[in-house]
Amino acid sequence: TAMAGMKTASGDYIDSSWELRVFVGEEDPEAESVTLRVTGESHIGGVLLKIVEDINRKQDWSDHAIWWEQKRQWLLQTHWTLDKYGILADARLFFGPQHRPVILRLPNRRALRLRASFSQPLFQAVAAICRLLSIRHPEELSLLRAPEKKKKKKEKEQEEEVYDLTQVVLAGGEHRLGQLGPGLGMGLVTPTLHSRRGTGMPAHFSDSAQTEACYHMLSRPQPPPDPLLLQHLPRPSSLVDKTQLHSRWLDSSRCLMQQGVRAGDVLWLRFKYYSFFDLDPKTDPVRLTQLYEQARWDLLLEEIDCTEEEMMVFAALQYHVNKLSQSGEVAEPAGADPGLDDLDAALSNLEVKLEGSAPTDVLDSLTTIPELKDHLRIFRPRKLTLKGYRQHWVVFKETTLSYYKSQEEAPGDPIQQLNLKGCEVVPDVNVSGQKFCIKLLVPSPEGMSEIYLRCQDEQQYARWMAGCRLASKGRTMADSSYASEVQAILAFLSLKRTGGGSSGNQPQGPDASTEGLNPYGLVAPRLQRKFKAKQLTPRILEAHQNVAQLSLTEAQLRFIQAWQSLPDFGISYFTVRFKGSRKDEILGIANNRLIRIDLAVGDVVKTWRFSNMRQWNVNWDIRQVAIEFDEHINVAFSCVSASCRIVHEYIGGYIFLSTRERARGEELDEDLFLQLTGGHEAF
C-alpha cells in the first residue's frame, strides 16, 4: 500500500499509523506546525481535536479548519477519514480560520474590511456578507477581483478611510459554527432591526460608534465625487473595454480559498445580475443606496451611455439626493407620513390628483390663495420686433399671470393674461451676471406663446419661479409645496454661485470647502469637456424642477428607474468568437436575452431571448458554450475576454432569477404555476 515503508517515531509498523504534519495558520510556509500521529482511519474531527490539544493555547478554535493545499480543498467533513479524503503524509495541510478579513470595495466605492468565509462556496459567502450589510436578495450580487493597480503614485489612497466590520458577529453566529462544516453556518437568522430612533438600523451595527458610522456609510448616499478625480478614473472607450470588468467575476460555486484569494485582498462587491427583485425602499435602505451608487458610478464613468437630456435628469437627481442626505433628514422611513412610503402611490397621488386633498383644506385655502404682485420686466419675442424688456406691473394669482402697464391700471383690463396651466417653465439664469429670467412657453389654442419674466434678484426670482412651476402643474401658491419649492430654488442658486460659474471652463478641483457643489461632479466627464459649468447648471436646474419635491428614497428610486430605462441598461459584455465566424464579436448578456453585437460598429446583430431557450452546454475543453433555442436554433461561441465559466454562470444566474420572478405568483395559484413551469416528465 501507499503506507508501506513509512517509518514512525516508535518504529512500530503494525498499527499502520503515520505522522501527519499540519501547519498552523494561513498558508504561511513559515508557520508553526504540529505533527500528529494518525492512521488512515482517523477522522478529521479527531485530527482537529489533536491539533488543538497539541497547540495547547487558549483560543477559540471553532472557526478553524484544515485546508489541503495541493488539492485546493477544505477538509470540512469531520466524520470523513483521512483515507476517504485520500490524505497521505505528503499532504500539505494548513490549520487556519475559515473566515478571514478582506477589504470590500462597495458599490459606493468605499472600502470596508470584514470577515468573509473562505471555505463556503462564494454564493453562500456573499449571502453572509449581504446579511451582515443588511442587503436583501444577495443572489443579485457577487464579488470581483480588484483590477491590477498600475504602479503610479496614488499616494492618496493611503489616506482613505477603511470601515471595519471584522469584529461584528451576527446574531446567527455563523462565525462560531465553522468547524462543524459549511452547512451549519448558514443559519438564516435575520438580523434584528434596531428600532431605537426608528432608523431601521440593524442591531448589530449598534455595537460601537464605528459600526454605526459604517451603517451610515452603507445606507446613505455619498457626496458627489471630486470632478478632477472623476476625470482621471479609467473609463471604457469601447465595447471591448467594457468587457474587461466582466473577466474578473469570481466563481459562485467555489470558495475564495480555491480561487486564490488571500486574507487582506481587495474584492469588489457589485450587483451582478440586473434584475432587482422586490425593491422596497422601506426595508432596503442599504440595498437601495448601494444600487443607487452603482447606477451613479455606472453613469459617471460612462459604463453606460445616455443622452445629454438624460444626464441632466441624473445630475438633478444626484444633486437632490445629496442635498437631502447632507441635510441629515434621513429619518424618513420612520417619518411622519406613512403614505410616502408607498412611493409610486405617493408620487402619482401627488401628480395626478393634487386637487383631491381634504375638503377642508380646499375651503381654507380658497380664501387665502396667496398672490404675487410686483414690478417685473417682461419681454415677448416676436417676429419683427426690436422691443426689449419693458417694465410692467405683474399680478400672479392662482395659476394666472396678468400684466398691466402700471400699477394704477391694475384693476382694469390687463395687457395680457396667461393661464400657466400646462405651460413649460424654463429657467434662464446667470448668477454671476445677475440675470434671473423665467422663460414661459404658454400653450394656447393657437400655439405656444413665449414670454420672459426678468426678476431683480434671487429672492424675487425664487418666489415667482416657484409660483410658475406650481401653476404649470395646475397648482396654486397655496399649495403646501410652495415654500419648499422656493427654498429649493434658492438652494440651487447658491450651488450655482459656488459651482465655479465664474471660474471658467475647467473644473477647479474639489470645491469641497463650500457648501455648494461643483456641477461637474454630477455628470460624466465628457460633458465636463463639452460644457462650461455655467452652461451646465441651468440645465440641471431645469431638470431639477421636476424632482425637487421628491424625498430621499424617492429620488434614489427615481434615479434607479431612469437608469433601468436606458436602452443599454443591464447588459454585461463579453468578447466571444461565434462558431463558424472568423472574427471576434461581442456577446451581451442581459436579464432576458443574449445579444450578438458587432464589435467594430456596436450594432445589434441578433437577439435571443432566454424565454426561447431550451438548454445550454459548456464544453470546457474548447471553452465553448453551446445554446439551443426553440425551433432548433443552435448557437455556439467560445469565450475570449473572460472564462467561459463566467459567461455560463451569467446565463444560468439569469435563468435562476427568472424562476424567482415567476414564483411571485406562486402562493396565489400554485397549480397553475406548476403547470406552467413543470412538464419535464415529457422528456
Partner 1 sequence: MGESSEDIDQMFSTLLGEMDLLTQSLGVDILPPPDPKPPRAEFNYSVGFKDLNESLNALEDQDLDALMADLVADISEAEQRTIQAQKESSQSQHHSAPPEASNFRGAASLGYSANAAAASVSHYEHHLPPPPADPVLDLPPPPPPPPPEPLSQEEEEAQAKADKIKLALEKLKEAKVKKLVVKVHMNDNSTKSLMVDERQAARDVLDNLFEKTHCDCNVDWCLYETYPELQIERFFEDHENVVEVLSDWTRDTENKVLFLEKEEKYAVFKNPQNFYLNNKGKKEGKETNEKMNAKNKESLLEESFCGTSIIVPELEGALYLKEDGKKSWKRRYFLLRASGIYYVPKGKTKTSRDLACFIQFENVNIYYGIQCKIKHKAPTDHCFVLKHPQIQKESQYIKYLCCDDARTLNQWVMGIRIAKYGKTLYDNYQRAMARAGLASRWTNLGTVNATTPAQPSTGTRGEIPTHTELRSYVQSLSNTFSESRPPMASSSDKKPALGNHLEPGAPRAQPLPKASLPPPPPVRRSSDLGCSPAPPPK
Nearer Cβ to partner 1 (10/367): 367
Q: If binding is defined by CB under 8 A, does position 444 make contact with partner 1?
A: yes
- Site residues for partner 1, 14-53, by CB under 8 A, read none
Min dist. Cβ of residue 289 to partner 1 (A): 15
Among 55, 103, 186, 490, binds partner 1 (CB under 8 A): 186
d(CA 331, CA 255): 38
Position among 497, 568, 584, 599 found at the interface with partner 1 (CB under 8 A): 568
Q: Is 79 in the site for partner 1 (CB under 8 A)?
A: no
207 binds partner 1 (CB under 8 A): no
Binding partner 1 (rule: CB under 8 A), the pick from 7, 72, 375, 435 is 72
Binding segment for partner 1 (CB under 8 A), chosen from 39-47, 203-211, 554-562, 573-581, is 554-562
Residue with smaller CB distance to partner 1, 210 or 677: 677
Let me know: does 282 contact 215? Beta carbons within 8 Å: no
Q: Residue 22 and residue 91: Cα distance in Å, rounded? A: 9
Tell me: does residue 378 bind partner 1 (CB under 8 A). Answer: no
Q: Which is nearer to partner 1, 223 or 335 (CB)?
A: 335
Q: Which residues, 507 to 536, sit near partner 1 by CB under 8 A?
A: 526
Pairing of strands 18-24, 93-97: parallel
With CA atoms as reference, report the closest residue to 51 among 100, 95, 99. Answer: 95
Is residue 599 within the footprint of partner 1 (CB under 8 A)? no
CA 193 – CA 201 distance, rounded (Å): 6
How many angstroms separate the Cα of 504 from the Cα of each of 297, 433, 520? 25, 13, 12
Task: Return the number of the residue (182 or 500) whose C-beta is nearest partner 1.
Answer: 182
Q: Is 505 in the site for partner 1 (CB under 8 A)?
A: no
Number of residues that bind partner 1 (CB under 8 A): 117
Q: Which of 5, 411, 445, 580 binds partner 1 (CB under 8 A)?
A: 445
Closest listed residue to residue 40, CA positions, set 94, 84, 90:
84
- Exactly one of 244, 416, 535, 643 binds partner 1 (CB under 8 A); which one? 416
425-447 burial string, b = 16+ CB within 10 Å, else e? bbbebebeeeebbbbbebeeeee
3-state SS track over 317-360: HHHHHHHHHHCCCCCHHHCCCHHHHCHHHHHHHHHHCHHHCCHH
Spatial contact of 353 and 574, defined as CB atoms under 8 Å apart: no
> Which of 27, 450 has the CB closer to partner 1?
450
- HEC per residue, 572-638: EEEEEEECCCCCCEEEEECCCEEEEECCCCCCEEEEEEHHHEEEEEEECCCCEEEEEEHHHEEEEEE
Restricted to residues 165-184, the positions that interact with partner 1 (CB under 8 A) are: none
CB-wise, 63 or 140, nearer to partner 1? 140
Name the residue nearer to partner 1 (CB basis): 51 or 442. Answer: 442
CA distance 481 to 466: 9
DSSP code for 314: H
**Residue 334 interacts with partner 1 (CB under 8 A)?**
no
Is 359 one of the binding residues for partner 1 (CB under 8 A)? yes
Which region, judged by CB under 8 A, interacts with partner 1, from 18-26, 172-180, 446-454, 505-513? 446-454
Rule CB under 8 A: say whether 310 interacts with partner 1.
Answer: yes
DSSP state of 81: B
Residues 561, 579, 581, 600: which binds partner 1 (CB under 8 A)? 561
- Is position 584 an interface residue for partner 1 (rule: CB under 8 A)? no
The label of the residue with cell 405617493 reads 346
Q: Does 609 bind partner 1 (CB under 8 A)?
A: yes
User: Considering only residues 353, 383, 582, 583, which one is a binding residue for partner 1 as defined by CB under 8 A?
Assistant: 353
By beta-carbon proximity to partner 1, the closer residue of 391 and 611 is: 611
Q: Which stretch binds partner 1 (CB under 8 A): 43-51, 98-106, 304-312, 481-489?
A: 304-312
By CB under 8 A, what part of segment 117-136 binds partner 1? 121, 123-124, 127
Which residue lies nearer to partner 1 by CB, 74 or 95?
Answer: 74
- Per-residue x/- mask for partner 1, residues 464 to 503, rule CB under 8 A? ----------------------------------------
Choice between 349 and 484, CB closer to partner 1: 349
Site for partner 1 in 283-302 (CB under 8 A): none
Q: How far is 289 from 296, CA to CA, in rounded Å?
A: 10
619 binds partner 1 (CB under 8 A): yes
> Residue 157 or 446: which CB sits closer to partner 1?
446
Candidate list 139, 174, 479, 485; residue touching partner 1; CB under 8 A: 139
Query: Does residue 364 touch partner 1 according to CB under 8 A?
Result: no
What backbone torsions phi and psi does residue 501 show, to the nearest 5 degrees?
A: -60, -35
Residue 79: exposed, middle, or buried by beta-carbon count in 10 A (0-12, 13-18, 19+)? Answer: exposed
**Considering only residues 240, 279, 301, 490, which one is a binding residue for partner 1 as defined by CB under 8 A?**
279
What are the φ/ψ torsions at residue 455 (nearest 5 degrees)?
Answer: -100, 160
Q: Which is nearer to partner 1, 253 or 505 (CB)?
A: 253
Q: Is 59 one of the binding residues for partner 1 (CB under 8 A)?
A: no
| Radius of gyration of the CA atoms of the chain, in A | 32
| Binding status of residue 254 toward partner 1 by CB under 8 A | yes
Q: Which stretch binds partner 1 (CB under 8 A): 11-19, 461-469, 581-589, 621-629?
A: 621-629
Window contacting partner 1 (CB under 8 A); options: 10-18, 19-27, 90-98, 649-657: 649-657
Give the three-class secondary structure for 206: coil
In the complex, least distance from residue 90 CB atom to partner 1, rounded to whole angstroms: 18
Please tell me whether residue 309 binds partner 1 under the rule CB under 8 A. yes
Nearer to partner 1, 4 or 668 (CB): 668
Three-state secondary structure string covering 504-547: CCCCCCCCCCCCCCCHHHHCCHHHHHHCCHHHHHHHHHHHHCCC
Among residues 520 and 610, whose Cβ is nearest to partner 1?
Answer: 610
Among 14, 209, 336, 668, binds partner 1 (CB under 8 A): 668
For residues 166 and 9, give the distance between their C-alpha atoms in angstroms, rounded to a whole number. 42
- Find the shortest distance in angstroms from Cβ 674 to partner 1: 9
Task: At 167, list the grid cell.
Answer: 469584529
Distance (Å, rounded) from C-alpha 634 to C-alpha 625? Answer: 11
Minimum gap (Å) between residue 503 Cβ and partner 1: 25
Cα 311–Cα 313–Cα 315 angle in degrees, nearest 5: 70
Residue environment code for 147-170, b if the CB has 16+ CB neighbours within 10 A, otherwise e: eeeeeeeeeeeeeeeebbbeebeb
Query: Of the candidates 105, 216, 122, which has an alpha carbon nearest to the alpha carbon of residue 162?
Result: 105
160 versus 671: smaller Cβ distance to partner 1 = 671
The three-class DSSP label of residue 436 is strand
User: Is residue 318 near partner 1 by the rule CB under 8 A?
Assistant: no
Residues 378 and 82: their CA atoms lie apart, in Å, by 91
Cα distance from N-terminal residue to C-terminal residue, the chain? 46
Minimum CB distance to partner 1 smaller for 304 or for 376:
304
Q: Does 382 bind partner 1 (CB under 8 A)?
A: no
